[in-house]
Amino acid sequence: MNRPGPAGRNVALASIFISGVLAAAKIVVGLKANSTAVVSDGIESASDILASSLVLFGLVMAAKPPDAEHPYGHGRLETLSGMAVGMILVAMGTLISVESLRRGLTPHTAPAMFAVWPVLLSIVVKASLYLTKRHYGRKLLSSSLAADAWNDGVDVVSGTVALIGVTLESSAGPRFRTADDIGGCVVGLIVILLGIRIVRDTTFQLMDTMPDPRLLEQIRKAAVTVPGALGIEKCFARKTGLQYHVDLHLEVDPNMTVSASHDIATQVRERIRSDLPWVADVLVHVEPHGLGNRR
């Protein structure tokens, strides 16, 4: 089974701690420097704490083995965690955008230049987290970890926007007196778009959308390596958390016994699970070769 193991959990735990430190630094410094963009970026980092906590919960629950009430395992909770991350981002992005626009319409002093330092630190750290989470998200086929990686990637973009806004308004004079507030609004819009994308992707998984055709081709190739497996009539797959459950219509010699065809079907199931660790289980339907329409 493709379990998340300690690696995925450790990444989520590290992300919670790092996001907490960065959020506190950006909010405190942003308030002292009178910077809307930096405070907005800090609030977004604070939301990362909840997002990474949900990711951790999803990874832990996805590792639970199947039981009588959940024969397909608990992997869908991992997908739901990813969706929750997306919803949180939409809500936080909306809040940041509205507050930035409100402040931009209110007269205020320009932010101090020292506000850029926590933002610079955040850009470097979040870039590292993005690369780490993307690696483990792909390795574990984790929707929630991949969503959290996108979250960190957008943090790099939003941090850059905040950096530009603060620099312009604090050093370029009255012509850019609202650059910091505009930067905060742009940060919020970026976060909203990311959240919508994550919700869309996880919704597709919950609707049992078929995976990439290349994955289905890998299943077909593994199946026909078993002696006696003459072809694949149909191949369906749906993602349940970190792995896929497969429905396979296997073609065999129509003249062989039920017992012999059952043995081949069992070998096909075990071969696919052995060769493709991202497959949780395979339900094999035996069909007579040459008598049905191939699809």
My answer on whether 189 and 220 are in the same domain is no
My answer on whether 220 and 201 are in the same domain is no
Residue 293 lies in a domain: no
Q: Which domain holds residue 274?
A: 213-288
The pLDDT of residue 269: 95
The predicted model gives 239-248 an average pLDDT of 86
Residue 40 lies in a domain: yes
Question: Tokens 């300690």 appear where?
Answer: 6
My answer on whether 254 and 144 are in the same domain is no
The pLDDT of residue 291: 66
**92-103 burial string, b = 16+ CB within 10 Å, else e?**
bbebbbebbbeb
The number of distinct structural domains making up the chain is 2
The answer to whether 278 touches 2, Cβ cutoff 8 Å, is yes
My answer on whether 272 and 149 are in the same domain is no
Give the rounded percent of residues in the chain with a pLDDT score beyond 90.
22
Give the residue from 178, 196, 211 showing the smallest Cα distance to 103: 178
The pLDDT of residue 294: 47
The predicted model gives 191-213 an average pLDDT of 85
Residue 295 lies in a domain: no
The predicted model gives 232-245 an average pLDDT of 87
Residue 294 lies in a domain: no
My answer on whether 187 and 227 are in the same domain is no
The pLDDT of residue 275: 93
Annotate 227-284 with DSSP letters as a single string.
Answer: TT--EEEEEEEEEETTEEEEEEEEEE-TTS-HHHHHHHHHHHHHHHHHH-TTEEEEEE
The pLDDT of residue 295: 44
My answer on whether 183 and 244 are in the same domain is no
My answer on whether 181 and 246 are in the same domain is no
CB atoms within 10 A of CB 10: 12
User: Helices 179-206 and 76-104: crossing angle, nearest 10°?
Assistant: 160
My answer on whether 217 and 201 are in the same domain is no
My answer on whether 196 and 258 are in the same domain is no
Q: Which of the listed residues 206, 239, 258 is the one where a domain comes to its end?
A: 206
Statement: residue 252 has pLDDT above 90 = yes
Residue 186 lies in a domain: yes
Element (H, E) at 86: helix 76-104
Give the rounded percent of residues in the chain with a pLDDT score beyond 70.
92
User: Of 161-170, 174-183, 212-221, 258-267, which gets the smallest average pLDDT?
Assistant: 174-183
The answer to whether 159 touches 64, Cβ cutoff 8 Å, is no
Residue 92 lies in a domain: yes
My answer on whether 33 and 71 are in the same domain is yes
The C-alpha atoms of residue 134 and residue 201 are separated, in whole angstroms, by 15
The predicted model gives 24-42 an average pLDDT of 83
My answer on whether 239 and 183 are in the same domain is no
The C-alpha atoms of residue 251 and residue 245 are separated, in whole angstroms, by 19
Residue 55 lies in a domain: yes
H helices within 141-242, ranges in order?
Answer: 143-171, 179-206, 213-223
For residue 226, what is the domain's CATH number? 3.30.70.1350
Render pLDDT for 70-112 as a digit per residue (tens, 0 to 9): 887 777 887 888 888 888 888 888 887 887 787 777 766 767 7
Q: Pull the structure tokens for residue 162.
A: 């905040």
Q: Which of the listed residues 191, 206, 221 is the one where a domain comes to its end?
A: 206
For residue 55, what is the domain's CATH number? 1.20.1510.10
The pLDDT of residue 228: 94
Mean pLDDT computed over every residue of the chain:
82
Residue 278 lies in a domain: yes
My answer on whether 79 and 193 are in the same domain is yes
Statement: residue 143 has pLDDT above 80 = no
